[in-house]
Structure 1
Amino acid sequence: KIFALARDVSHHLEVEEKLKSSEENFRTFFESVKDLIFVATPQGRVLFVNDSVVGKLGYSPEEIHRMHILDFHDPLDYEEAEEIFNQMFAGQRDICPLPLMKKSGEHLPVETRVWFGKWDNQPCVFGISKDIAKEQESLQMFNRIFDFNPVLMAITESRTGRFVNVNNAFVNKIGYTRNEIIGKRAADLELFYNPEAKEELEKELRSRGYIDNHALEVRSKSGEVLVGLFSGEVIKTGGEEYFLTVMVDKTMQSITERKLEKQSKIKNVLMRIATDYINIPLERLSGAINESLKMMGEFVEVDRAYIFDYNYEEETTNNTYEWCAGGIEPEIDNLQQIPMDAVSNWVAQHIQGRYIYYPVVGKIDDSDKTKEILESQGIKSVLTVPMMLGDHCLGFVGFDSVKDYKHYSNEDIALLKLYTQMLVNVLNRQKQEQTILSSLEEKAVLMKEIHHRVKNNLQVISSLMYLQASYIDDSTAKRILRNSENRIKTMALLHEKIYQSSDIGRLNFKDYVESINYKLVDYYQEGSAKVSLKTEIDEINLNLDKSILAGLIINELVTNALQHAFEGRKVGVITVSALEKGNRIFLDIRDNGIGMTEDIQSRKLTTLGFQLVENLVNQLRGTMAISHEGGTRFTIEFPKE
């Protein structure tokens, strides 16, 4: 007999197949992961590693299976690694930051995490090391960019506002060491000149997540105020929020802009004063002097400006003119017939042409008699400039600061010296005119001398502006100064023609205009298009006021044509005509240049030059028309008388 026993094992085979498939999937997953995976016994003996360990560390599988988990670290790090792993096993920390060591001895930056589990049903430790070499490379690159960036950079905690890091430019510019900055707040160091503005900017940064090009003033350790453009953004790392801020130092640019603005104001003030002094009738001269004291006093921001004369025969000095700011008591009535002996120190300095400056009146030596006089008026700072006519001192111009102490820069003092010399000229003119008023012949001689002096003074101003322009790199500012220089030369030329003329009351307008035009062509011809000048000018005798206004108009329009009409051209023609028809004068200034589009015209007509032309035409009680056919043409008509 045959006995057979059959048992269905299909289920068992199916389970084995699934286990085999699961194991293959599991190993495929391990091998495909780019992170380094370790499986070790609780004692540290390696049971399994994935291909990334072999590929990145360079050990063979046989070598790895003979290694302890600590063998993957630099021997110098063994103790620290063992301590860290014990802490991780005890649940006291999550990450081991120590690098792994390749077989070649190189270090591989990683972050390692571990957890407990089972391998082949035996207790084990799983470890995954994430390769952070690229992250560290990026971090190092960021640190280099941060540390060596020429702009000022800082990282602060969003929550506390305390500095976490600042770059080298920040340390060098602000003046504090890193140890003095890190852990402090901006308020602790009093960094911001306007803390309220800083708080508003920080609110915007929090709400928007970034800021861009906001101007703020920052105070350095030495007390210097810096002007910066701030940009920044919110960054998050490690669960914390930080502010990364960048400051572009605009201090020098701001200083340059303020200097240019101040120079422009100086030019305008001097031009206004010079124009008033040139044209003012004798009977209105005292009012013009008082007005000029007001202008200069307000410009240099003092509380009182005044003039004293020296009477050497009576040995006295008198306050002849005075301007006071609002709220300042006048002193002119109290300062008459002052014995020169009471201010002998001042007199001795002034007659040698020296100015006197006391930044702090309270520090004047008690032996100086002027101290009591100044303190009785509540003066804190004072500057006096002698009025020199050749080697003779006529008196002095003074500037008092009552409310606050006043510091004068060298530029301020140079300006006040120039203003004082203008006063000397006008006071000398006043004295001379009063002396020879009764004699027409002597008056004519005097007027010629005055025009000669005015011409010389204008040439001095023109030379100063030429010198100033040579020290300026900005092309726009240089062009503005050069244009202003030519305006002054045009006025100087008028006075030259007057004192050369036999009739000082009228001017040969044809000779004057031709001189202006050819001087301008010579001045602007070099380096530009070859420009031909054509003129058609009647023999016109204009009074002095209209001559200078018409001359300035021609100067502006011919200058504009020379500078802009022939851009991109090799040759060009400018035609200037001045015709007399009845009691009307017709000026025609035209060029055959590139003309102006409506857009360019709208912008051009807002410039200082065109506004000046419109103002001059209005003073002539005239009209002006502009056309752009075959170039640009200005037609101006005004009454002769």
Structure 2
Amino acid sequence: MNDKLKSLSRQQSALAEFGEMANSAYALDKVLNTAAIMASETLGVSHVKVLEWRPEAEDLLVRAGVGWSEGVVGNAAIGADLESPAGFALKSGQPTVSNDLAKEERFRIPKLLTDHGVKSAANAIIRSGEQAFGVFEADSRTLRSFSEADIRFLQGAANLLGLAIDRHRLSEANAELVQHKEVLLREIQHRVKNNAQTLISLMNLQLTRSQFGETHTALRSLMTRVQALSMLESHLYLDPDIERIDLAIYVMELLGKLVSFHSDSVEQIRLDTNLTQVHVTPSQAEALGLVTNEFVMNSFKHAFSQSGGTLRVELSHDDKTAIFTIADDGPGFEQGVGEEGLGLRLMTAFVKQIGAELELIGDSGTRLTITWPLK
């Protein structure tokens, strides 16, 4: 295996491992700092920082990081304009790469970077919902030519951070309840995950032996379905009433798992989420989780296979009806073409099981809408 393949494999493994950690019940600051350490070790750079955009101050706070002098993390800030590579990325809406900051003409170099001897920098935007949370940046004290694979790695990590931030915000309202049930939850999760994890491990082992062909594809699909069901079991004890599950939190965590699993194909994927709290029964959550899994798998396979794109997920309700929509901005499909595939048959079957209605539209991307009555 040549150096490029080894580097790519190391980056994919790091993202997968971090994705598992980021979607567990850890404090947000721990997740952010772990991301910085992971990126520093994987890219071999001395400094990494997570910058949080503060619109009221028009600056970027060093929320987490590695390699910086004492007192920088949590206190230092740089301008959210053309004063820095991160500010330039935030304004342009695109990742920024500068292999030689001394020759940079697009933006100024902040004192924070010069004081630490940074000579090269690359970053990616962290998005939370429809807004930017901030910037994830890798800084090198030696001249460094960041590759396209390096940028994809940073964007993949930034995507996972965005999911972790969304999950943190959704779960804040339930923080006190989770604390009371923490010990019991760990025990329950340990027991209910044992069999599923064993099955996943066996399938993963088989995946390494079946690198190509229909067997490999089928195993990957089956693994994500088992993971979706295993995650549901963990959620049965997160709500005050174990017969009702917060669908928004469950879907957000499931999306994080799927993005992590498909990280080897993530290229500039934007996740747009707008989820309101809707409580459903375990059987409804199971069906909707499996539908989400099938749709995301198909989006990564067909919609995002070339140059990336946007995955939009919405959950809303009125007094009588809940509406769940998941859509991508890929090429879509012609009505009547490909509607008999296994993925659609499974989604239709899952939706019928819970007495919901399904609408699938294939123009201007693929959009799936599920509606069901609230009880």
Instruction: Tell me: higher relative CO, structure 1 or 2? Use CA pairs within 8 A at least 6 residues apart.
Output: 2
TM-score when normalising by structure 2: 0.47
